Amino acid sequence: MANQLEKKNFFKNFYDLINSKAKNVDFDKLLDLSSLIHATQKNSGKVIVIGNGGSAAIAGHIAIDLTKAANVRSINFNEASLLTCFSNDYGYENWADKALDFYADSNDIVILISSSGKSPNILNAAKKTKELNLPLITLSGFSSENPLKKLGDINFWVDSSTYNIVESIHQMWLLSVIDYLIEAS
């Protein structure tokens, strides 16, 4: 029976950890992000969301929910032909900043998601966002000194080095902003 109890404890510990990390967010930053997205919508801008791997899946989910549920125009760059074309022509580390060159407009905001905060393509996209003078929101984890966290106007950081924890919290925080925007409208 102890083996079954140990198995259940894994899940209890996992959810206790998720809960503690999720609550460790600056609510003022969530409100700031909500206000920024609302202002972007009012100014006919769009929200551009970019990530790699699991963070790309989060970017897709957030872009769809912003558009469909919150009525805020939003895009992500998860199209295979765009990724492979831009990676082939400009190098993988440059595909996201080149996509911003082609798709970003002056009233847009950019949300970059990277668990490590060290992905070269995401860091280059952050630099491009700054060059374009667009507001930059970052979501990262792992080291509190990661380079992405130092580049954003609003930075969210998860104190964990476990991908599934960091990604789950990133998604939770962003979805809470979407739900807030829906309720506030």
User: Can you give the pLDDT of all 185 residues of the chain as single tens digits?
Assistant: 568 777 889 999 999 999 999 999 999 999 999 999 999 999 999 999 999 999 999 999 999 999 999 999 999 999 999 999 999 999 999 999 999 999 999 999 999 999 999 999 999 999 999 999 999 999 999 999 999 999 999 999 999 999 999 999 999 999 999 999 999 98
The Cα 164–Cα 88 span in angstroms is 29
> Which residues are CB-neighbours of 87 under 8 A, at least 6 positions away?
95
pTM equals 0.95
Write down all domains in the chain, each with its CATH number in brackets.
26-184 (3.40.50.10490)
The three-class DSSP label of residue 157 is strand
What is the per-residue pLDDT for 6?
Answer: 79
